């Protein structure tokens, strides 16, 4: 009986982990779809910063910008543009919210 209980708990844990993984994957996919709409420059900076966890200095080395401050400013503008896209598209906002809260 103890063995069955332990097995049931492990199964529930694995199912929760898999569903959480799938939700996170779907959310990343949705975000990447949106980021694609921002253009190549924004996509590159945001992916390097948020997905590859690179510093501003490292991003500067991988891009054609003059200084780290220029990269920071561009990242800020990209995030503002992304925020505006989400605010103006209520369906998109609802989809992201539902994915992130699962």
Top-confidence residue, 36 or 72: 72
Tens digits of residue pLDDT in 88-97: 888 777 777 7
83 Cβ contact partners less than 8 Å away, ≥ 6 residues apart: none
Tens digits of residue pLDDT in 74-93: 999 999 998 888 888 887 77
Query: What is the rounded distance in angstroms from the CA atom of residue 49 to the CA atom of residue 55?
Result: 7
72 confidence band (pLDDT: 50, 70, 90): very high
Contact 43, 36 (CB under 8 A): yes
Structural domains present in the chain: 2-100 (1.10.10)
Top-confidence residue, 21 or 67: 67
Tens digits of residue pLDDT in 7-53: 566 655 555 567 777 777 777 787 778 888 899 999 999 999 988 99
Q: Is the pTM of this model over 0.75?
A: no
């Amino acid at each position: 009986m103890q063995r069955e209980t332990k097995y049931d708990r492990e199964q529930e844990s694995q199912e929760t982990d898999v569903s959480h993984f799938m939700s996170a994957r779907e959310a990343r996919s949705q975000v990447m779809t949106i980021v694609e709409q921002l253009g190549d420059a924004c996509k590159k900076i945001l992916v390097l910063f948020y997905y590859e966890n690179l510093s501003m200095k490292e991003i500067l080395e991988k891009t054609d910008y003059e200084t780290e401050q220029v990269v920071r400013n561009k990242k800020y503008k990209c995030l503002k543009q992304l925020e505006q896209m989400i605010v103006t598209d209520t369906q998109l906002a609802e989809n992201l919210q539902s994915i992130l809260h699962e």
